[in-house]
Amino acid sequence: MFEISKIIYQLLNSVQLLSDKNIDPQPIISAQSDDYPLVNYAISEGTTYSKENQLQYTASVRIYTDDDYDEALQIADAILEAFKDSAIRFKYNGTQEPQVDAYGQYYTESNYSFKK
């Protein structure tokens, strides 16, 4: 899983908008001291199927903002473009509309399935 996480981390680090906003993508959670916006990702292993492929992994990318829905969606769109442009073929599974979690944090989440 470390190798897969490294691939996703490198892909997220290639997103110019994240660099412009000084966002360092973090696996699973960010430090409490980190400023918004935040980008966290998680990898799960479990086979899913599409018409064309059997996919081994799912990457979930969550974007947190202090209270700016537009910013969350702009970041999600930039990340989607990076996944589309990747040499690895990702299946985009959709993005949740921005919402508020139990801690009052605004976030949106996008999911991508793929095989190594």
Please count the structural domains in the chain: 1
- Structural domain range at position 90: 2-114
pLDDT the model gives residue 32: 75
Residue 56, helix vs strand vs coil: strand
pLDDT the model gives residue 97: 82
pTM of the model: 0.86
Which residues, in sequence order, are CB contacts of 77 under 8 Å at separation 6+? none
CATH number of the CATH domain containing 70? 3.30.2000.30
pLDDT digit string (tens) for the chain, length 116 residues: 688 889 999 999 999 999 999 999 999 877 777 889 999 999 988 766 556 666 688 999 999 988 778 888 899 999 999 999 999 989 899 988 888 888 888 889 999 988 87
pLDDT the model gives residue 53: 65
Which residues make beta-bridge pairs with 43?
A: 59
Distance between CA atoms of 61 and 114, rounded to whole angstroms?
Answer: 14
Q: Are 114 and 60 in contact (CB under 8 A)?
A: no
Distance between CA atoms of 103 and 116, rounded to whole angstroms?
Answer: 35
Q: Are 113 and 51 in contact (CB under 8 A)?
A: no
Tens of pLDDT, residues 29-60: 777 778 899 999 999 887 665 566 666 889 99
